[in-house]
Structure 1
Amino acid sequence: MSGVRRLVTFADQGVSSVSNFVAVAIAANVATAVDFGQFSLAYAGLLLFLGAQRALVGETLLVRYSRTGDLTPATASASLGATMLVAVPAVLFLLAGALLGGAEHAELWLLMAALSPFVLLQDAIRYLFICQARPVLALLIDGIWAVGSITAMLLTARSGGSLVLVLLWWGIGAAAALVVGLLLARCVPAVVSGGRWLWLNRDFSFRYLAEFLTLNASTFAVLYLLVFPLGAAGVGALRAAQLLFSPLNTVFGAIKTAVIPELVRTRGTSAFRSRLLETLAIVLVLALGWGAAVLLLPASAGEFVLGDTWRNAEDLRLPYALQYLAMVPYTVLLAYFRASQANQLSTLMRGVLAALTLALPLGFAATGSAAASAWGFAAAVAVAAVSGLMAVRIRNRSVRTADAALEPAD
């Protein structure tokens, strides 16, 4: 049964990722270059708060409440209330964008501000269902959003609708999925309880949020700083090469939602190790297979996917393939740390990655080579994974030493 749950959760992650990609593609097709630039800024801001909500609320739910009977109706309502609290700064941020973007773009930013609570709450209910071992319901509400909104967006785009109208349908789809989710969950957000829930879980939620913000800050900072040694074209080549491996990002994201709850439920049993090794084997095969496919990608296919950028990104495939291969043990270790509630070790490993992601690509890019910078990204992930493995070995050795000290002498 647990295997079926994991497959359904992986499917849900795939539906969520693909539908978001299609929605952005439709928006790009109806927008002018300037309008799409404004939308990209607003969407990036929304994604930032969505990631913060997942770290602050979603991951805390999965790690602390996935065991059967731990998630009570009151806790479920409080977690949704916590998401509402995250929605407040998201709305304020997007409203500020409406002021700064000028009158001609204010409508777009105002719409994104109005839609953001629906998007955040719908995502929170996904995590709620997965935590309750009911991923079929998460897949259902994501399917409702995907099918309903994308169909309406396509019809609106074909009839010559504006970007704002297209995005309105995207938001209506999120609201419809949210209503269905609330009915199925049989709970409503409790904002006051949400604040109390965050405080009671601060040892988890605030740590996870800090990890998320640190990693994102270093990633965003390095991309902007790389413009100086590499130029905009060099940074574009890095992003294009990364795009070729984006399906693996969906796989790594699904590990958090599909595997961590199952590990939490089997913690302290023989099945825990089996689940971990099974995950490592499956993801390793997927990473090797996709990496080989990208490395063998013919130029015609690469140009079809990336256009003229292919020529700059072509030579970056090998370092990125190795980077994503290193992401396998890194992500599995993160799942192990989360499920074991070894929060200090996860913070250590992710802190190493954040620091090296900022330092190594910039240091290697001093030669003016985008390929050297790509090797820097790969080295950062590899060293972070090794640091995580060393932390596990040191921890296990300490546990064995402590156990031996407690054994009675002969």
Structure 2
Amino acid sequence: MTAAGHQPPTGTPSEPPRAPRRSAAALASVLDQAASSLTNIAVLVIAARVSTAHGFATFSMVYLTFTVLLGLNMAYVGQAVVLTRGDTAVTGAACRSAIAFTALASAAVGVPLAVAGAVTGALTGGLAGPGGAFLALGLVLPLVLVQDGLRYAFSTLRRPGLALAADTLRLVCVVPALLVQPRHAAPGVLVAVWGVSAVPALLLGLRLLWPHVRAARADLRPYVRRGHLGRRFVVEFAVGNASSQLAVLGLGLFAAPLAVGALRGATTLFGPLNVLFNSVNAFGPPLLNRLGGRRAVTRAAAALGLGLSAVGLAWGLVLYALPAHVGRQLLGATWQSAADLLPASGAQYAVMGLGTCALVTLRVLSPRATLSVQVVFSLLAVVLMLGGYLLTGSALGAAWGLAAGSALKAVAAWTRVVRLRERETAPAAAPAVPAS
């Protein structure tokens, strides 16, 4: 019996609870993105502190491989599933299918990765070498990819608060697990500890997801059909992000492993700016859409871009002014090589702020215009990075090459935005006057 003056809850006990309000959902989404980004920053910072310079370089190559695989899964599965619309039966089935496909695909990739790592690890020093680290990655890959994939399921269900709970537990578990590792721990051990520490968050996420998907059935057929939308997203990710990451990985595997550690160390220090850029990508388009005309959208985006650029420069100056002993507390033996790259990385993040806002503007004004800019100038950034390394023989040249590539992409994107505005404001052609 219900108490007087109180209405009984709507719906049956088997139905999932109602989605939260938009403001609460938006806040939970931002906090979840912050928790995920903070986890990545903490993992790299702690790994750098407990590793030698060579050990962190190896760990960075393995973590970079994971980042590429994570991005591919996000593009092929995550970005596609969040577009699902319908009732709870439809979204529940989509989420269950997405998690099932992620588990199978990650196992299919992890097994050969572990085998290759075991074979090469036997020849290159066990867990202390790259082979052992890749072996560990192959074994834990299904754990970490499925755990991260749960956030897209919760986003589809409009339950970002559940994703925040799981990702916060992930952060709480991984930090102490890595902090208790001994100094100069082997890269393979660090990778294994990082992966296994995802188990509590994975179990919590699956438990929170279960009420929403228990009545649904998984269907993997859409993921292997020719028209699957994730294929387009994979292409965009490959040319926009994975190309530069793979180039850095190739630089480490075939030329200079220490350069990877230096580049990743410098990038890690700019991790808070990545949170800002990701938030702009996520929430910029809907906010700009509310402004109406192209002129208002462009002005607002330009102002935001200048603000982000100023923040990037200021953060770079703060990092450059850090005393050496503070830097070594952050990155350990990798600090010195990373510190040399801070001017180049600061310049890169300053122009990335401008470029990010330009691409967001294009996504609002002309969504099809972004792909060509991403393809051409992301590949150009890779060429400039490799060219900078070849010309200087150091990671500093590669860092300045990346900065130049980001600057050219920003210029190209804003040029495209200006041309779109000119089309809108161009006067219509005067009608022809018939001859009398």
Q: Same fold (TM over 0.5)?
A: yes
CA distance in 1 between counterparts of 2:181 and 2:343 reads: 41
Q: In the alignment, what sits opposite 1:76?
A: 95
Q: In the alignment, what sits opposite 2:110?
A: 91
Q: In the alignment, what sits opposite 2:327?
A: 302
Letter of the structure 1 residue corresponding to residue 342 of structure 2 = R
Mapped contact 2:306–2:353 kept (Cα < 8 A): no
Q: Does residue 353 of the first structure (1) align with residue 353 of the second (2)?
A: no
Q: In the alignment, what sits opposite 2:246?
A: 220
CA distance in 2 between counterparts of 1:189 and 1:121 reads: 18
CA distance in 2 between counterparts of 1:45 and 1:316 reads: 22
CA distance in 2 between counterparts of 1:33 and 1:112 reads: 20
How far the C-alpha of 1:351 sits from its partner, in A, is 1.7
C-alpha change, 1:255 and 1:338, in structure 2 (3 Å) is same
CA distance in 1 between counterparts of 2:364 and 2:89 reads: 15
What TM-score, normalized by structure 2, do the two folds share?
0.70
- Alignment gaps of 5+ in structure 2: 1-20
Q: Does residue 9 of the first structure (1) align with residue 58 of the second (2)?
A: no
Mapped contact 1:66–1:132 kept (Cα < 8 A): no
Q: In the alignment, what sits opposite 1:195?
A: 223
Q: In the alignment, what sits opposite 1:53?
A: 73
1:319 to 344, 362, 372: 344
User: Partner of 2:322: helix, strand, or coil?
Assistant: coil
Q: In the alignment, what sits opposite 1:180?
A: 207
Q: In the alignment, what sits opposite 2:267?
A: 242
How far the C-alpha of 1:195 sits from its partner, in A, is 1.8
Moved more, 83-92 or 374-383: 83-92
User: Partner of 2:341: helix, strand, or coil?
Assistant: helix
CA distance in 2 between counterparts of 1:191 and 1:380 reads: 42
Deviations 1:248-294 (A, max 9, x none): 223323444x426xx35985764994985786476445424423322
Q: Does residue 147 of the first structure (1) align with residue 172 of the second (2)?
A: yes
How far the C-alpha of 1:157 sits from its partner, in A, is 7.6
- Alignment gaps of 5+ in structure 1: none
CA distance in 1 between counterparts of 2:30 and 2:61 reads: 29
Deviations 1:193-235 (A, max 9, x none): 4426x64443xx2222123223423443256459999x66666
CA distance in 2 between counterparts of 1:223 and 1:46 reads: 11
User: Partner of 1:297: helix, strand, or coil?
Assistant: coil
CA distance in 1 between counterparts of 2:69 and 2:369 reads: 25
Mapped contact 1:98–1:107 kept (Cα < 8 A): yes
Q: Select the structure that is richer in helix.
A: 1
Letter of the structure 1 residue corresponding to residue 408 of structure 2 = V
Q: Does residue 380 of the first structure (1) align with residue 405 of the second (2)?
A: yes
Letter of the structure 2 residue corresponding to residue 290 of structure 1 = W
C-alpha change, 1:176 and 1:195, in structure 2 (3 Å) is same
How far the C-alpha of 1:59 sits from its partner, in A, is 2.9
CA distance in 2 between counterparts of 1:334 and 1:71 reads: 32
Deviations 1:46-102 (A, max 9, x none): 33211111122223445x458999973343334434434542442234333344244
Letter of the structure 2 residue corresponding to residue 348 of structure 1 = S
How far the C-alpha of 1:30 sits from its partner, in A, is 8.2
How far the C-alpha of 1:338 sits from its partner, in A, is 4.8
C-alpha change, 1:70 and 1:234, in structure 2 (3 Å) is same
RMSD of aligned residue pairs (Cα, Å): 4.7
Q: Equivalent residues in 2 for 1:246-261 (5 A)? A: 246-256=271-281, 258-259=282-283
Q: In the alignment, what sits opposite 1:130?
A: 155
Mapped contact 1:145–1:176 kept (Cα < 8 A): no
User: Partner of 2:220: helix, strand, or coil?
Assistant: helix
CA distance in 1 between counterparts of 2:144 and 2:319 reads: 33
How far the C-alpha of 1:382 sits from its partner, in A, is 0.9
Mapped contact 2:52–2:334 kept (Cα < 8 A): no
CA distance in 1 between counterparts of 2:336 and 2:386 reads: 22
What TM-score, normalized by structure 1, do the two folds share?
0.74
C-alpha change, 1:240 and 1:154, in structure 2 (3 Å) is closer
C-alpha change, 1:301 and 1:190, in structure 2 (3 Å) is same
Letter of the structure 2 residue corresponding to residue 246 of structure 1 = G
Q: Equivalent residues in 2 for 1:271-350 (5 A)? A: 273=297, 280=305, 283-284=308-309, 286-307=311-332, 310-338=335-363, 342=367, 344-350=368-374
How far the C-alpha of 1:389 sits from its partner, in A, is 1.7
CA distance in 2 between counterparts of 1:37 and 1:293 reads: 25
CA distance in 2 between counterparts of 1:255 and 1:312 reads: 31
How far the C-alpha of 1:143 sits from its partner, in A, is 1.5
C-alpha change, 1:394 and 1:6, in structure 2 (3 Å) is same
- Matched residues, percent identical? 29
C-alpha change, 1:251 and 1:147, in structure 2 (3 Å) is same
How far the C-alpha of 1:379 sits from its partner, in A, is 1.4
C-alpha change, 1:276 and 1:127, in structure 2 (3 Å) is farther
Moved more, 127-136 or 271-280: 271-280
How far the C-alpha of 1:178 sits from its partner, in A, is 3.0
2:415 to 380, 390, 401: 390
Deviations 1:321-363 (A, max 9, x none): 1210111122233344556671x42222222332222222343
How far the C-alpha of 1:15 sits from its partner, in A, is 1.7
